């Protein structure tokens, strides 16, 4: 029986508790939150669960094997470090830490202690992203031309970070998972209208190849949009995450080089065929993700969204901040010792995944 402690019981915490609780062989041992009201209500409703306002009670508890850290970003590092020091595996809310130095430190500590770090990049476990991964890996889309994401809505979800740190971690983790090539630089340009935090931003990721990636994030949009276009040489797709059905549409459309027949002739032609919306697995992503974390602990395998992939996302966020402060100047990203996802190769990650995830 694997014992889980959950630190932070705000918006997302209850989902973490529900999903870990539902797993065979797993027990949510205790929940901590610094808000005493939350803890009192929780204790009243669930007298059988240990509750506390001091996370150290869980971090030091002998029946806790792993900690889920579901608190604001600024607290991740300290909590995760203490957890690792106490020999606990950690499941950390995205983004992993507030700086790449913190993330590097955690990764090193976890390696030394032979513990797992998993970052809660939930989207990687959705049916839609797993289907797209499959389409890209099997070359159905052909060579990737661009990745274009719009993630906008009215209102912020976090009060301590700007719109890039709030919304873009989703996109950065998804893009990194899907595209087996790291961006070499990022440009970000944004503006703040209400307080000092940027509430609108546009991010471009630069690659050494023909890939273009662009991210639009906005807290001031009257409509909610969660749409990603991925254009390949052979096929193109639109992923609209807000649709209940037909989230994913794959277009048999493309561009073709045409033999030039004269100096003024058209050199390219466009091809349009059928559209196809594959059935997308509807299983709750978080359930699959929690299960994957437990499997990794039990089998010693590496999580899909391990500390290194979490660090990559933090590096991209840091590059955005630097570019934002320099009017959009491209900022190089240094992925020391490895290219993004290259050294911890695609193959390795695939092997780590439970069969039903692929």
Q: Which residues bind a copy of itself (CB under 8 A)?
A: 47-48, 145-146, 148, 150, 152, 154-156, 159, 187, 189-191, 193-195, 199-200, 202, 204, 206, 210, 212, 214, 216, 218-224, 229, 231, 233, 236-238, 242, 244-246, 249, 251-253, 255, 257, 264, 266-268, 270, 272-279, 327-330
Q: What three-state secondary structure class fits 257?
A: strand
Task: Centre a 10 Å sphere on the Cβ of residue 250 and count the other Cβ atoms it contains.
Answer: 22
DSSP string, 57-76: HHHT-TT--EEEE-S-HHHH
Give which of 301, 281, 317, 336 is closest to 118, Cα–Cα.
301
Closest CB to a copy of itself among 165 and 219? 219
Closest CB to a copy of itself among 159 and 347? 159
Closest CB to a copy of itself among 39 and 275? 275
| 11 to 23, 230, 335: CA distances (angstroms) | 21, 31, 33
- Nearest approach in angstroms of CB 192 to a copy of itself is 8
Phi-psi region of 177 (alpha: psi -120 to 50; beta: other; left: phi over 0): alpha
- The C-alpha angle with vertex 239 and arms to 198 and 320, in degrees rounded to 5, equals 25
- Nearest approach in angstroms of CB 273 to a copy of itself is 5
Find residue 204's DSSP bridge partners.
187, 214
Inter-residue contact 151 to 170 (CB < 8 Å): yes
Inter-residue contact 33 to 10 (CB < 8 Å): yes
- Nearest approach in angstroms of CB 183 to a copy of itself is 13
- Nearest approach in angstroms of CB 29 to a copy of itself is 16
- Nearest approach in angstroms of CB 159 to a copy of itself is 6
Sign of the Cα pseudo-torsion (204, 340, 174, 116, in order): negative
Altogether, the residues listed in the chain come to a count of 358
- Nearest approach in angstroms of CB 72 to a copy of itself is 10
Place of tokens 């306002």: 53
- Nearest approach in angstroms of CB 32 to a copy of itself is 18
- Nearest approach in angstroms of CB 357 to a copy of itself is 20
Closest CB to a copy of itself among 99 and 227? 227
Residues in contact with 335: Cβ distance below 8 Å, sequence separation at least 6, in sequence order? 182, 312, 315
- Nearest approach in angstroms of CB 279 to a copy of itself is 5
Closest CB to a copy of itself among 329 and 338? 329
Q: What three-state secondary structure class fits 171?
A: helix
Closest CB to a copy of itself among 113 and 214? 214
Closest CB to a copy of itself among 55 and 231? 231
What's the N-to-C CA distance of the chain in angstroms?
26
> In terms of DSSP bridges, do strands 212-218 and 144-154 run parallel, antiparallel, or are they unpaired?
parallel
Closest CB to a copy of itself among 44 and 355? 44
Give which of 231, 290, 336 is closest to 89, Cα–Cα.
290
The H-or-E segment that residue 104 falls in is helix 100-113
Closest CB to a copy of itself among 114 and 223? 223
């Amino acid at each position: 029986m694997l014992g889980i402690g959950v630190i932070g019981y705000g918006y997302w915490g209850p989902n973490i508790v529900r999903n870990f609780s539902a797993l065979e062989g797993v027990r949510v041992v205790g929940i901590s939150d610094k808000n005493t009201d939350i803890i009192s209500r929780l204790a009243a409703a669930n007298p059988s669960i240990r509750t506390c306002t001091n996370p150290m009670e869980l971090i030091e508890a002998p029946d806790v094997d792993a900690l889920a850290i579901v608190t604001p970003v600024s607290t991740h590092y300290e909590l995760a470090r203490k957890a690792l020091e106490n020999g606990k595996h950690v499941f950390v809310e995205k983004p992993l830490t507030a700086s790449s130095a913190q993330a590097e430190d955690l990764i090193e500590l976890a390696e030394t202690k032979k513990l797992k770090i998993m970052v809660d990049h939930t989207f990687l476990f959705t049916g839609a992203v797993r289907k797209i991964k499959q389409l890209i890996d099997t070359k159905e889309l052909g060579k990737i031309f661009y990745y274009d994401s719009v993630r906008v809505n009215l209102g912020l979800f976090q009060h301590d970070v700007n719109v890039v740190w709030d919304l873009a971690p989703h996109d950065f983790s998804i893009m990194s998972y899907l595209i087996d090539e790291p961006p070499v630089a990022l440009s970000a340009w944004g503006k703040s209208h209400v307080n000092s935090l940027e509430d609108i931003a546009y991010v471009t990721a630069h690659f050494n190849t023909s890939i273009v990636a662009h991210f639009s994030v906005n807290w001031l949009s009257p409509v909610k949009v969660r749409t990603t276009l991925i254009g390949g040489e052979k096929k193109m797709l639109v992923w609209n995450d807000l649709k209940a059905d037909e989230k994913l549409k794959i277009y048999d459309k493309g561009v073709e080089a045409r033999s030039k027949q004269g100096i003024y002739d058209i050199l390219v032609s466009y091809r349009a065929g059928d559209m196809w919306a594959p059935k997308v697995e509807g299983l709750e992503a978080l359930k699959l993700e929690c299960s994957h974390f437990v499997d990794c602990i039990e089998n010693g395998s590496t999580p899909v969204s391990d500390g290194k992939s979490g660090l990559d996302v933090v590096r991209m966020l840091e590059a955005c901040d630097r570019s934002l402060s320099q009017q959009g100047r491209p900022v190089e990203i240094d992925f020391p010792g490895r290219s993004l996802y290259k050294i911890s190769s695609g193959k390795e990650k695939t092997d780590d995944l439970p069969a039903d995830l692929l």
